[in-house]
Amino acid sequence: MIELGRQNDGSTDSSAFARDVAQGLGQKQKTLPSRYFYDGTGSRLFQKIMELPEYYLTRSEIEVFEQNKYEMARQFSGGGFFHLIDLGAGDALKTKILLKELSSQQSNFDYVPVDISGEAMKQLSESLQQELPQVAVEAVVGEYFQALEWLQENKSGRKVLLFLGSNIGNFETEESIDFLQSIRSYLKPGDRLLMGVDLRKNPDTILKAYDDAAGVTAAFNLNLLHRINRELDADFNVDQFCHHAIYNPLEGVMRSFIISKVAQDVHIRKANVRVHFDAWEAIHTENSYKYSLPQVAELGQKCGFAAETVFYDSRQGFADILFSVR
Ligand code: AVJ
């Protein structure tokens, strides 16, 4: 396993976390970056989210893979050896469907899962060793851009990049363009990108997926405050905050917030800041954009990709789009 962005002494880069937290909570409209959800506890909570009856995204994408694995594997393999790179792999539940199919088609590839959670990558490496020992695996722990740079240096063959699970939805529109353009700059003609997006649908369905009855999503969101307490020696009283999620059908975006139920002050020692919250003041913690298919095709087009094949689930609520490099 390769761990990027570590200090020489082996500790994680908590100064970047401290800086981002201080910066986000120092703004007039407070924000915290959603990539910090995924510490050990956050990754476990996200696993539970994926099993919730309301969170349809994962099940829909699994269906896309189950129904189209033969065709996907066939399209990837034409062209000889390739690196299968999985950005934000997590537990790789969907990718494993593809790995099994690629193996049975005797495809020549290696698998490079990339994730911000070291714990998730350790578990994934172990489970792949058990379930698919014939597949060559090298897991990378780090943020997307660090990982892309590492890949540039270390994985120079043909690439098939996976960006699944509607992870693109976390980006604001301009950020997603920046992100896809920089991905494009690491790819060459013949390389591919398979991107999973959650499609626009009944707002009630979307809303419930981010505000589940059992409160798992609330716990996932609020874990960010627990994480700041743990890692940055802060004194958030988490009971004095609550989860709130709304869907904007004009923009097609789910936004999640942490809301302070009372006026209060919090001291974040390792970030060297004191933060005041008014009663009912919000911290914006996440965007989850929902796309229409023409939007996705246009986004790809703008960033140097051409949509080749669109794979759907049976309800056409989720799509995985296979792009080639233009
Ligand atoms: C992992 C970013 C795709 O936005 O649906 C789930 C994260 N947040 N419930 C999403 C998430 C709240 C998820 N992504």
Predicted TM-score (pTM) of this structure: 0.94
Q: Where do we find the tokens 């939805």? A: 169
26: helix, coil or strand? coil
Residues 6 or more apart whose CB falls under 8 angstroms from that of 202 comprise none
286 lines ligand 1 (CB under 6 A): yes
Segment 105-152, tens digit of pLDDT: 999 999 999 998 898 999 999 999 999 999 999 999 998 888 999 998
From ligand 1's centre to the CA of 49, what distance in Å? 9
Which residues of the chain are under the pLDDT cut of 70? 6-13
Question: Ligand 1 pocket test: which of 210, 222, 288 has the largest number of ligand atoms within 8 Å of its C-beta?
Answer: 288
Backbone angles phi, psi at 107, to 5 degrees: -75, 145
Sign of CA dihedral 121, 125, 127, 131: positive
From ligand 1's centre to the CA of 64, what distance in Å? 18
Enter the DSSP assignment of 287. E
For the CA of 90, the nearest atom of ligand 1: 1
Segment 228-274, tens digit of pLDDT: 999 999 999 999 999 999 999 999 999 999 999 999 999 999 999 99
> pLDDT value at position 7?
47
49 lines ligand 1 (CB under 6 A): yes
> pLDDT value at position 12?
55
> pLDDT value at position 14?
83
Parallel/antiparallel/unpaired status of strands 2-3 and 109-115 = unpaired
Do the beta carbons of residue 171 and residue 140 sit within 8 Å? no
- Kindly report the protein residue whose alpha carbon is nearest to atom 4 of ligand 1: 288
